[in-house]
Structure 1
């Protein structure tokens, strides 16, 4: 819900009204409940889970609900003025295709605002499990879903056709009594490992060893352990002729080498004014 609110803040930062918007992987509507109908006039909520859509949070914005796979979005080209997505795209098998689909359904000068987990998410849990498995079993396998690096995210959006890209990251840290509480919470969130070649069994000895490693390496003075969630926020626009364009290469009339001279001139001017 915290991430959905921060996405909504980014929508409010854009000084315009969006007549038709899409929430991709909306879950229970974590974004729309923080928006108003004077900013977004109509919403389409989509998710793979019909149950989540049935439990959609109350919002003043008129909306419809559609069960949709993010990789095969069943809407026509140039349909939406705004597409938002909160922490669902890390489940997509083909992320480049998903970005292409989002770009396709946006109107020219439409904007995509989304958030997804970054590559440093749950590094404490991953490191503890890997060290425990190496010690007890002589090797390890991934137990957390693969996640995207921030550099890859910008490249993928650029390749999909978005311009005026903005990608920033933040870390949200939550404290738990121990590793087993972290894993129970992840299970309740539906954030278990989605890798196709994952191991179906994690031995009890390895789990106990991982919990001890987690506590020893990352434990706080009060006995709790942190779980870090890295979140990438991204904004990309579909090109339109009305958008500002960068100056042509070689058109600059000031060199970076002259910046020091500008600084010295400003300093001298201030001295004279005093």
Structure 2
């Protein structure tokens, strides 16, 4: 029986380009890092709460290097991997035998999420732990409304489909992780303009990488988008929400 090929929702080329642009923008002193900072803090809190002290770890997607530095200072042998520089999350890993694999902010734009989780599990030692965090269902509700208003009667694909808590739990069961834990939290950020939000999305590789991204907004549609964004706020500030889903489990 032939294996089922996952649908091509995201473009690998656009995904890599977005992350490469992010790496360049992160060289700026005021680059937005609030989502990766939240994910790193969460990983460290989980390890502390569980009193889990891995000897080896693979960190995927942490463009700040902060998690690797903290783990290294604690005596952990850390390997870092970045999709922008050739690491393939939807292929078997070129290394294995890790006590911990932390995947931060990348799995929301893979076409084969179950397959990516299987590759993580295979790269763990028996008794090893995975912690995977990424944007989930409910993220960017204002931007979704803005794009719908701007497109009018002919909405185009502009915002990514996302995974919810229930689906996350089903994924962990399907990929045979033991003692699965699914957590959901949000980060609210205020913006004084839609352009500032878009800048933060670019700086964190959160822009549209769909295989069929739709046409660019024209001048009238862009003006409508700005108006809708401003109307959604108060006092010249619009608060956007980022929902983070964290999946964790063990290889038994």
TM over 0.5: yes
What SS does structure 1 have at the residue aligned with 2:59?
Answer: strand
The alpha-carbon distance between structure 1 residues 165 and 73, as it changes in their structure 2 partners (threshold 3 A), is same
**Is structure 2 residue 130 aligned with structure 1 residue 95?**
no
| Match among 224, 228, 233 for residue 219 of structure 1 | 233
**With structure 2 as the length reference, what TM-score do the two structures score?**
0.80
The alpha-carbon distance between structure 1 residues 119 and 16, as it changes in their structure 2 partners (threshold 3 A), is closer
Cα-to-partner distance string for 1:116-147 (whole Å, 9 max, x where unaligned): 1011111111112102212xxx2101212222
Using the TM superposition, give the Cα deviation of residue 76 of structure 1 relative to its aligned residue in structure 2, in angstroms.
Answer: 5.1
For residues 30 and 129 of structure 1, what CA distance do their matches in structure 2 show?
34
CA contact (8 A) 1:7 1:86 kept: no
CA contact (8 A) 2:156 2:215 kept: no
For residues 49 and 80 of structure 2, what CA distance do their matches in structure 1 show?
22
**Is structure 2 residue 178 aligned with structure 1 residue 167?**
no
2:214 corresponding residue in structure 1: 199
Q: Which consecutive unaligned segments of at least 5 residues does structure 2 have?
A: 1-36
Cα-to-partner distance string for 1:144-201 (whole Å, 9 max, x where unaligned): 2222111111111111110211111111011111222211221232221011011141
What SS does structure 2 have at the residue aligned with 1:113?
Answer: strand
For residues 36 and 24 of structure 1, what CA distance do their matches in structure 2 show?
15
**Is structure 2 residue 106 aligned with structure 1 residue 71?**
no
| Match among 157, 160, 167 for residue 145 of structure 1 | 160
1:80 corresponding residue in structure 2: 98
For residues 49 and 28 of structure 1, what CA distance do their matches in structure 2 show?
14
1:181 corresponding residue in structure 2: 196
**Is structure 2 residue 245 aligned with structure 1 residue 232?**
yes
1:46 corresponding residue in structure 2: 81
For residues 162 and 118 of structure 1, what CA distance do their matches in structure 2 show?
20
Q: What value does the CA root-mean-square deviation take over the aligned residues?
A: 1.7
CA contact (8 A) 2:230 2:238 kept: yes
The more displaced of 7-16 and 190-199 is: 7-16
The alpha-carbon distance between structure 1 residues 184 and 41, as it changes in their structure 2 partners (threshold 3 A), is closer
The alpha-carbon distance between structure 1 residues 93 and 139, as it changes in their structure 2 partners (threshold 3 A), is same
Using the TM superposition, give the Cα deviation of residue 31 of structure 1 relative to its aligned residue in structure 2, in angstroms.
Answer: 2.2
For residues 100 and 74 of structure 1, what CA distance do their matches in structure 2 show?
10
Q: Which consecutive unaligned segments of at least 5 residues does structure 1 have?
A: 51-66, 240-274
For residues 202 and 95 of structure 2, what CA distance do their matches in structure 1 show?
36
Structure index of larger Rg? 1
Using the TM superposition, give the Cα deviation of residue 104 of structure 1 relative to its aligned residue in structure 2, in angstroms.
Answer: 0.8
| Match among 111, 133, 136 for residue 118 of structure 1 | 136
**Is structure 2 residue 63 aligned with structure 1 residue 27?**
yes
What SS does structure 2 have at the residue aligned with 1:169?
Answer: strand
